[in-house]
Structure formats: C-alpha cells, structure tokens
Amino acid sequence: MRSEKPLEQEILDRFFKKLTEREDFPQEMLAQLLQLRREDSLRNGQKVLQALKRDEKSNA
Amino acid sequence: MVRKCFKHSSETKNQMPELVIQRLDIMGFRGVSQRKSLLFNGKSVLLFGENGTGKSTFVDALEKLFTGEVYTLDHRAQGLSSQRHGPHIKYTSANPEIAVTFSDGTKVEAGTATSASSETVKRYLEAARQPVYILRRGQLLAFIESQPRDRYELLRPYLALSEVEEVEAVLAKADEQLQAELNISRRELARQHDDLSHQAGLKAGDEVSEPKILEALNNRLARAGRGLATNLSEISTLIQEIDADLSKFGDISKPAAITSLIDALGELFNGPAAINVEPLASSILQLREFQARQTAIIYERVLEDGARWIEEEHRKECPLCEQEMRRFSPEEVVRRARTRLEQAHELLALRQQVQAELDALKKVVGESLSGVERIRRTQLARAPQELRQTTENLLAGIAERLADLVRVVSQPVPNIELGPLHSIGRAFERGEKIESDISQNVQTLRTELESLPSSAAAQSLLQLRDFLSRLKSNWERLGQAWAAFQKVEHRAKVSALAVASFRQVRKEVVGEIFTQVSGDVDRIYYELHKHHESSPLSAASHRNIRLEVREAVQQSINIRADFYTCVDTDPRAYYSDAHLDTLGLSIFLALRRWYGKQYPAFKLLVLDDVISSVDAGHAVRLAEILLTEFSDFQILLTTHDRIWFEHLRDIQNRCGVAQNFVNKTIYSWTIDEGPDLREPEDEERRLREILQNGQPYEIAALSGRLLEHILQEMRYSLRLPVPAKAGELYEIGDLWPPFYREVKRNYSTLYSKAQQTLDALDVSWPLRNWIGAHFNRWALNVPLSVAREFGNAVLSLFQFLFCPDCRRYITPSSTPLGQIACKCGHLIYAAPGRKNQPTTGRDEVISGTAGALKDAKLTSEQHLAWKRAERSHEN
C-alpha cells in the first residue's frame, strides 16, 4: 500500500486531531474516516461519502 | 603547517542518491537529429556550450520524458506544444526517441508504458512527474514577478500537495452533495408543508402546527355533524367509523366504475370519429388521373440540361442526336421542355401530399387502436360483470374495423384499393355505424347507472372520508419529511465542519511550510551575497525575505523582505535586477530542498543556464551552494559562461565533490549533426578509423582535436599555469608547452614511460595548425606518413593518460603518495623513488584518518586563506 508523504501525514494527523477534539463530531463517522485513512481510501469519493452518511445508518 | 582541509558543515554530505541516471539517449528531438547520448555515469554533469549549441535539448528531453511536457513549449504561448514542436525539424518520424537508463539498469523510454519493477524507480518517476527540479533562465523572475495568486499556482507543485488536495477535493465534493441533498430535503419539507396547509384549508401565513390542523379537522367534522377529535392520531379511527357507515349503502364502487366507462367511451368516440379517409382517397384518385395523363416517362434531368444547353450555347441542333431542329425552333423546344418540367414538379408535389395524408391517417388509426386496448384493459375490467359483454363486443367490432383499415393503408400507394378504403372509412363517419353503436352502448350504461341506488349522504361521507384520508397522509408525510430533513441537516453540518477543518489545517500547514521555506530562501540568499555583507544574517542589508500566505485571500502568496532600514517591503521596490535574479534562484533552491523532503529518493536538480545577469562573485557563491548543500543531489548544470564553467570545475575539487561530477563541453552544433558532445573514447575510435584511410589534413584535424581535449583535461588535473586568455578559449599552442614542461619537471615516472611520445608531440603538434585547422598551400605536400605519425603519437598519449575502465584521466594524488593515477588505479605513475600505491577511496581515507577528513570541504575564503598561507610558507 502507498505510504503517506511527510506533508500529507502531517496534515491528516492534524485534521483528525481537530475532529477528535470536537465533541459535536459523530464518533462513528470519525471512526469510518480513520478506517479510510488506514486503507489509503480517503481519495475515494464514494467511500468518503458513505462515511459521512454513517450516522444515518447507525441511527437507522 | 597549515591544514589543507577545513571543516565546513556537519550537514553536508557527498553521498549520491540511491537511484541516479546513468545515461540519457536522444534522437530526433529539439536540436538533436542523430542519436546522441549524455553519459551521466551516475554522476552530476556540468555541461558547457556556447549559446545555441543544444544544451537545453538535454534538459527538454529529461522534462519531456518525465513529465510529458516541455515548459518552454507547452506553457509559453498558444500554438506552441512539445507534441508539435518537440521533434527535430529534419526528423521524419513524428515520435522522437528519448530514453533514460538508471543506475539499477532500468530503462525508461518516452511514449512507452514503463513497467518499472523496482519500487525505487516507481517512486523516482512519481516524484519526477512535476517539473519542480528544473529551472531555466526564463523562469527565474517568474517567482518574483507573478501576481500573488499566480505565484501560489507557480509554487504549488513544489509543496507536493497533490494527494492532500485530492483528499480536500473529495471531502468538498461529498460536502457539496450533502448540501445539495439538504436543499432537496428542505424543498420537500416546504412542499409537504404547503400541501398540508392547503389540505387543511389554512390561510396563507398560518402556522402549520398540530393544534392548527386539529382545529381545521374539527371544524370539518363539526360541519358533517360528527364527533370531534382530540388529536391527529385519531384520524384512523374516524376513517374506520365512516367506512362502517358507508357499508350500509351497499356496493358504492359500481356507480364509479360505470361512470368511468361512460367517460372513456365518450373519449373514444372522438377518436374513431376523427378518422376521415376522404382527403386521402381524393388525393390518390387525383394522382392516378394525373399519372394516366402523363403516359410518357419524364426524364427530368434530360429536360433540364437539354433546355439549358440549347439556350446557353445557342445550339441549332439537338444535343442528343446532333440533328438540326426542324419541326420546332430551338426557342420552342426550350419552351416545351420547361412546360414538361413544370408538369413533373406538379406530379412530385401531388405524391408528397398523398404520402403526408397517408401518414396522418395511419397515426390517427394507431391512436384509436391504442385507446380501444386501454379501455379493455382498465375501465372494462372494473365494470360490473353483467355490462362487460356488450361493451366488449362493441370494442371488438371497432378494433376489427380499425385493423381492416390498417391493412388497406399499409399497401404501397399505387396498390391502395379505393373501394375498401371508402367502404371502411364510411363506417367511421358521423352518424354512421361506429358512432351509432357507441351511443347505443353508452345509453345502456346510463340506464343501468340511473337504476342504482344513490344517496347524497353517501356522497357527503365519501367526501369527508377522502378529506380525512388525505389529511392523515399529508400529516404523516410531513412528519417523515421533517425527520429526513433533520438527519440530512445534521450530516450536512458535520460534513461542512469536516471540510472547514481540513481547509484550516491545510492553510496552517502551508503557512508553516512557507515560513520554513522562507528561512531557507533567506539563508541561501545571504550565502549568495555574503561577500558584500559585513553583518551576520540577522542584521544583513537584505534580510528577512519571506513568502507569506495572504490571510484574506485563499491560495495567494506575497514576497516581503527588509531592506536596510526599510522593514517589510516588496523587494522589487529596492533590489537590483541581478539581486532579483538571485532571489528567484534562492526561492527555487529552497523549494527544491523542501520537495526533496517529500520525496527523499528523488534527488535530481537541473539548472539550465540560469546564470546570466550575475557577476563572477555571485556565480562562484552559487557554485559553492550547489556543490555543498546539494552535494547529495544528481545535478545537471548547463552554462554558456566559460568562466563560470571553469570556476565550477575548480570548486568541485575544493568542495570535495569532484568525484561526483562529469564535466562536459559541447564544442559545436549543426542542424544535421546536432551538438558535438565528444566523448574521449569516441574521439579515439574515430581517429583510429581515419588513420586507416583518411587524408593527411583529416588525420591532422582529428588528432589535433583529441590532443586539445587531452590538454584541456590535463590543465585541471595537473593545475597547469596557463596565461589567462579571453573567454578561456585555450588552444594547443597555449596548453602544450606548460603541460610538457610540467610532466618533464614534476612527473618523471610518467615522462620516462611516455618520453618517446611526448618528445615526438613536442615537435609535431603544430602540424595540426598547419594542415588540420587552416588552409596553407605550402602545407599541402605534407606526406601521409607524417600525419599518421602525429596521429599515432596522440593516440599513444591518450592511452598513457586516460583510463578506459574508470573513464577518467590521471590526476595527482595528495601527499604523501605524490603519485599520479586514474581514479580506479589501473593507471599509476609512482612518485620518484616510490612504488605504485593503489588509489584509496574516500571512505578508506576517512577511516584511515580516524574520521578527521570526514567533512573536509573548502569554501572560497578557506581556499584563498590556505593558498595565502601556503605562499607565505613557501616564501
């Protein structure tokens, strides 16, 4: 799998830190986005959209 | 004793990167028509050539191969492209050949898919896709002169943000979609809101709330004399109560079904009745009568052309039989031809009319058949059983007539029978059979409908039930729309938060990068101008140069600096053109270093003739920066400045990176041959060939060229004292005497071995000038044997001085060896009284001196200080 470049890593680390610190950001959605990062799928539009809709599925 | 080596910087390294270019091969591209190779041999290349000798072709070729574009063609002006203007103008194939061979043996060719198996090569090629490692003279000022937004675009590729931007774009697109879904949800909510308001009969502006709806409901229930509801969930119970009351009225669906069937038959009545075959029948009849009159075949084209020829050419004879027109005059023939043509046009128009009427009739018949089928499928199926058969018979009869009509009109026009057409068509006329049958059927249905029990009370209940049913449905839909809206709104809010957070983080990090890069720009700029400064960097006259991300504007970069007492200003206001050039260069180098951090395995730097407006002092400083701070890069450095070229060669030794460099010269360029980038082995091979069957002047010319090349190399290698000459254009006459003297005086082992050759050349070298370089009538009689003797002496000298294994000329070893040897040690000439000592690699020297020479580098100041110290010591 592709490894993140230092700058990319820095930006994504800070981004997720920011989201983690926000209490109003759904944990389930955050977990999904983190999973996508681990899979190097954050550039996959379909998967990201699904992740951002995750709260609906979990609530349903 | 002054130490010869100084510590310069603990950060500098002279390790070449893991993957480097071995060679670049080009054919048919830009200034190269025949196949040419630039041999890197895994080292950096310093390439000198006068203007217009093809230096940039090698740069363009690298860029084209790695990025698919050439900046100076594809981004310069409309109409220019590397696709169109890349191939050499005399190269017949549209696809030039460009190939790079890497140190691991991988060959990458332009236009072919690279199946690089090595991850290192893949990473290298990925990093090389952005041309951020190439700087040309024309691009220098772009960093300075661009508008802030354009400058950001210019600098963006250096930040290696592509993956990050892709993630941002994906998040933004997902957010866009969720915002769009939110808008749809909002509109749906508003629609449901309006529907319920309308259904409940609320006034415009009334709040749509449960109490308001309940109030409207109870008003309606009160008017119908029914009990009131306490909340909207009771609507289902109310409907059940009404259903129970309605059941007392028997089957209330029967009247609805009969009414629906009557309406459908009424609509159908308008269909078949619209079928009118008369216009078509009449047109067909007219056409047939006309055709009967025109018994002869009309040759329309013959008539047209014939009439024109007779008229235009004033012919007296027939254009077909070439006989004189006797019965009618030519004018009369033309008139008759025109009359017949008019008749032909009338016939054509009539045919078109018949076809149009036929198409219209077929369409109406088709629609009528569909209408009959629709009634059979829907209304008839719901009609009471006892009424179905009569209507079914009626519809079957109509369908049969319509099918007959379809059969008649489906024939080709000449075959349509008018008798059946009239007969079937008549049945569809008003007052005829079809209309009469439908009316009779409708009457029967109406009679049945009137006989059914009907009650105004049932109608009223039905209407109330309908109201309640709709109100319940609207209320439920509004509830669902509201729930959906809340979910979508929450998602949209969260997604907007994610996008905003990402953008903020990206902006922060980019700002930090520019702060970091600015530090490098400031330092590199200071290093370039240090010889003018008496203060440290923090108090320099040109200081604090920085690239600032503009807070107010997204993706926009300003350049600011302090200039003497003027703080935070635009450098363009005070800097000279040369200083702005070096500022552009500093920005590029700082950005290249940053890019290197993102792609550590990709260490290529290409500077294409970037030094033009700066003086020698700045140029030397730049050379030092390149050779020290970028010593772990593979560099392709081209220049047209002979003096800078010589400085760089000199500095390579002082900076301890000479072993990483190959210095090359382009001697000339022609449109057919391309750059004359001679390699020592090539020259040797060509000389051997020409010695076999060449003329004396050819042998002398080639021998002289190789000798000149050897002496140029020896000038650096042996540090020959050569009187300065404008443009550093030294010839054999300038170089041979000091070379011969130096070898004879200081390198006796070499002299003793090569004495015969050296002494012979000391006599014969002018031969090159007499017959090889200039035309001298008196020299025409030089015998072939003399020329061959000269050539063989040059070849012999080449073999004494050039090692074919390491492809290097011999060079003196440092003390205490005092010998002269090639790099690999295959050619060694020991110091007097000593034995040959195998050459030692840098690593061995470092370990042998317990690391004392590890970071041995000389700056210009240190070098000059050492020279001064040595001189004083000698004195």
Co-location of B626 and B760 in the same domain: no
Rg of the Cα atoms in chain A = 12
Co-location of B737 and B616 in the same domain: no
pLDDT at B2: 29
Asked whether the beta carbons of residue A55 and residue B491 sit closer than 8 angstroms, the reply is yes
Chain A residues touching residue B513 (CB < 8 angstroms): 7
Q: Does B178 touch chain A (CB under 8 A)?
A: yes
Please name the residue ranges forming H helices in B676-695: 680-693
Asked whether the beta carbons of residue A5 and residue B163 sit closer than 8 angstroms, the reply is yes
Residue of chain A with shortest Cα separation from B167 = A43
Residue ranges of the domains in chain A? 6-59
B772 lies in some domain = yes
**Best CA proximity match to B743, nearest among B810, B686, B806, B794:** B810
Phi/psi of residue B476, nearest 5 degrees: -65, -40
Q: Can you give the three-state secondary structure of B341-364, one letter per residue?
A: HHHHHHHHHHHHHHHHHHHHHHHH
Residue bearing tokens 């719901």? B382
CA distance B243 to B87: 87
CATH number of the domain residue B655 falls in: 3.40.50
Q: Which of A25, A44, A48 sits opposite B494 (nearest CB)?
A: A25
Co-location of B260 and B400 in the same domain: yes
Q: Are B662 and B716 in contact (CB under 8 A)?
A: no
CB neighbour class for B602 (10 Å; exposed up to 12, middle 13-18, buried from 19): buried
pLDDT at B169: 94
**Best CA proximity match to A47, nearest among A24, A29, A26, A25:** A29
Q: Are B267 and B458 in contact (CB under 8 A)?
A: no
In a 3-state reduction of DSSP, which class is residue B203?
Answer: coil
Tell me which residues of chain A have a C-beta less than 8 Å from any C-beta of chain B.
4-8, 10-12, 14-15, 18-19, 22, 24-26, 29, 33, 42-45, 48-49, 52-53, 55-56, 59
CA distance B734 to B711: 10
DSSP H or E run through B669: strand B669-670
Asked whether the beta carbons of residue B599 and residue A5 sit closer than 8 angstroms, the reply is yes
CA distance B720 to B723: 10
Which of A53, A58, A59 to mutate against chain B (most B CBs within 10 Å)? A53
**Best CA proximity match to B713, nearest among B756, B680, B749:** B680
Nearest chain B Cα distance for residue A23, angstroms:
11
Chain B residues touching residue A55 (CB < 8 angstroms): 487, 490-491, 494
CA distance B9 to B90: 50
Tell me how far CA of residue B554 lies from CA of A11, B503, B504, B558, in angstroms.
17, 10, 11, 12
Backbone conformation region of residue B54, classed left if phi is above 0, alpha if psi is from -120 to 50, else beta: left
Q: Does B591 touch chain A (CB under 8 A)?
A: no
DSSP H or E run through B563: strand B557-563
Beta bridge partners of B136: B608
CA triple B330-B333-B336, angle to 5 deg = 155
Q: What are the per-10-residue average pLDDT scores of chain B (875 residues)? A: 34 65 93 89 91 93 94 84 87 84 90 71 90 89 86 86 91 94 92 89 84 92 90 91 79 73 73 71 83 64 82 81 81 84 77 83 85 84 81 90 89 86 84 84 83 68 85 91 93 94 91 90 90 76 85 77 90 88 92 89 92 76 84 92 80 75 86 84 89 88 90 88 78 92 92 94 83 62 87 95 86 74 85 75 60 56 66 59
Which of A1, A15, A17, A44 to mutate against chain B (most B CBs within 10 Å)? A15
Q: Does B163 touch chain A (CB under 8 A)?
A: yes
Co-location of B317 and B343 in the same domain: yes
CA distance B801 to B780: 31
Co-location of B257 and B338 in the same domain: yes
One digit per residue, the tens of pLDDT, for chain A of length 60 reads 677 888 899 999 999 999 999 988 999 899 999 999 999 999 999 999 999 887 644 443
Q: Which of B491, B508, B598 sits opposite A56 (nearest CB)?
A: B491
Q: Are B855 and B9 in contact (CB under 8 A)?
A: yes
B317 lies in some domain = yes
Q: Which of B160, B494, B501 sits opposite A52 (nearest CB)?
A: B494
Contact partners, residue B314, CB within 8 Å, separation at least 6? B330
Cis peptide before B816 (omega within 30 of 0): yes
How many structural domains does chain B have? 3
Q: Does B132 touch chain A (CB under 8 A)?
A: no
- Residue B758, both tokens: 């050296």
Co-location of B662 and B757 in the same domain: no
Strand pairing class (B604-608; B634-639): parallel
Chain B residues touching residue A49 (CB < 8 angstroms): 174, 177-178
Long-range (24+ apart) CB contacts under 8 A made by B308-312 are B310/B334
Chain A residues touching residue B159 (CB < 8 angstroms): 7
Asked whether the beta carbons of residue B164 and residue A22 sit closer than 8 angstroms, the reply is no
- Residue B54, both tokens: 């093809």
CA distance B705 to B499: 67
Asked whether the beta carbons of residue A45 and residue B167 sit closer than 8 angstroms, the reply is no
Co-location of B712 and B734 in the same domain: yes
Asked whether the beta carbons of residue A7 and residue B170 sit closer than 8 angstroms, the reply is no
Co-location of B269 and B372 in the same domain: yes
DSSP H or E run through B843: helix B842-848
pLDDT at A56: 47
Q: Does B127 touch chain A (CB under 8 A)?
A: no
B588 lies in some domain = no
Co-location of B651 and B768 in the same domain: no
Indicate the residue among B418, B451, B484 that finishes a domain. B451
CA distance B59 to B46: 12
Chain B residues touching residue A12 (CB < 8 angstroms): 164, 167
Tell me how far CA of residue B313 lies from CA of A2, B303, B316, B326, in angstroms.
83, 15, 9, 18
Residue bearing tokens 């109608």? B459
CA distance B664 to B166: 42
Q: Which of A14, A19, A56 sits opposite B498 (nearest CB)?
A: A19
Long-range (24+ apart) CB contacts under 8 A made by B317-322 are none
How many interface pairs between A and B have CB atoms less than 8 angstroms apart?
78
Indicate the residue among B451, B473, B504 that finishes a domain. B451
Q: Are B484 and B182 in contact (CB under 8 A)?
A: no
B811 lies in some domain = yes
pLDDT at B9: 38
Co-location of B271 and B399 in the same domain: yes
Co-location of B637 and B779 in the same domain: no
Q: Are B855 and B652 in contact (CB under 8 A)?
A: no
Cis peptide before B737 (omega within 30 of 0): no
Asked whether the beta carbons of residue B173 and residue A45 sit closer than 8 angstroms, the reply is yes
Asked whether the beta carbons of residue B509 and residue A11 sit closer than 8 angstroms, the reply is yes
Residue of chain B with shortest Cα separation from A24 = B494
Which of B146-180 are b and which e, b meaning 16 or more Cβ less than 10 Å from the residue's Cβ? beeeebbebbbebbbbbbbeebbebbbebbebbbe
Query: Any idea of the CA torsion for B8, B14, B15, B17, to the nearest 10 degrees?
Result: 120
- Residue B195's identity, in one-letter code, is D
Write out the residue range of the structural domain in which residue B667 sits.
6-133+602-675
Chain A residues touching residue B509 (CB < 8 angstroms): 7, 10-11, 14
Co-location of B669 and B697 in the same domain: no
Q: State the sign of the Cα–Cα–Cα–Cα dihedral B863, B866, B870, B875.
A: positive
DSSP B693-705: H--HHHHHHHHHH
**Best CA proximity match to B289, nearest among B355, B348, B360, B347:** B347
Beta bridge partners of B560: B546
Indicate the residue among B622, B648, B675 that finishes a domain. B675
